[in-house]
Amino acid sequence: MKGKAIIADGKGNHSLEEIRLEKPNDDEVLIAIGASGVCHTDYDSIKHWPGPFIVGHEGAGIVLETGPHVSDLKAGDHVILNWAMPCGTCFQCLNGQTNICEKNSPVVHHGAYNAGHAGLERTTYQGQGILRSFNLGTMSTHTIVREPAAIKVDHDIPFTSACIVGCGVMTGVGSVLNTAQVKPGSRWSSLEPEGSD
């Protein structure tokens, strides 16, 4: 099928272009994007990552079609797209650092294709498989991802709220819980008014 996507050349230019998407294979899912967040990494990427690539890695949308091996999603489901899809078997995953999975994490190799995600050839631009930011490319009418990269959410969550969970929210929550190790009930005492306990 045909779609449209914002494609960056990696030199600071980007434009709306036509892309083609294959039918979903195996455990792949075809998603109609409902909303895409804009992350600071997008700003960096359009100038510094090797182009061409489809911009955007925070997305939410509706499942349009599923591959024959998809078990938990069906057409009509609402999903958040997930680029942090651990393989579960590499050195980093086995040591609890699933965010830097050696096989699937785009955090480790910016702008590169990561082998655990839907193949490059599944989405084409001008007849060639095209890179997608964090293997998602959410600034697009459609995208193809593997089933573990699409997390089902309730229909009453607006796409515009759901989409930012995929990067902005999980980065913030990870910083609070893993890096700062803030515990339940913690507070910053300087925020308290004088004399309060």
Smallest distance, Å, CB 177 to Zn ion?
18
Q: How far apart are CA 166 and CA 178, in angstroms?
A: 17
What residues pair up with 131 in beta bridges, in sequence order?
Answer: 53
Smallest distance, Å, CB 77 to Zn ion?
23
Smaller CB separation from Zn ion, 41 or 66: 41
**Letter for the amino acid at 39?**
C
Smallest distance, Å, CB 182 to Zn ion?
21
Smallest distance, Å, CB 126 to Zn ion?
26
Smaller CB separation from Zn ion, 119 or 148: 148
As a whole number of Å, the CA-based R_g of the chain is 18
Cis peptide before 184 (omega within 30 of 0): no
Residue numbers of the site for Zn ion (CB under 5 A)? 39, 41, 87, 90, 93, 101, 103, 167
Smallest distance, Å, CB 37 to Zn ion?
7
Q: Which two tokens stand for residue 20?
A: 């083609």
Which residue in 175, 145, 141, 169 sits closest to 157, CA to CA?
169
Smaller CB separation from Zn ion, 94 or 177: 94
Q: How far apart are CA 138 and CA 147, in angstroms?
A: 16
Q: How many beta carbons lie within 10 A of that of residue 114, not counting itself?
A: 19
Residue 128's SS3 state is strand
Smallest distance, Å, CB 21 to Zn ion?
23
Q: How far apart are CA 75 and CA 91, in angstroms?
A: 35
Smaller CB separation from Zn ion, 145 or 167: 167
Smaller CB separation from Zn ion, 103 or 110: 103
Q: Which two tokens stand for residue 82?
A: 């997930």
Q: Which two tokens stand for residue 13?
A: 């230019």
Smaller CB separation from Zn ion, 20 or 48: 48
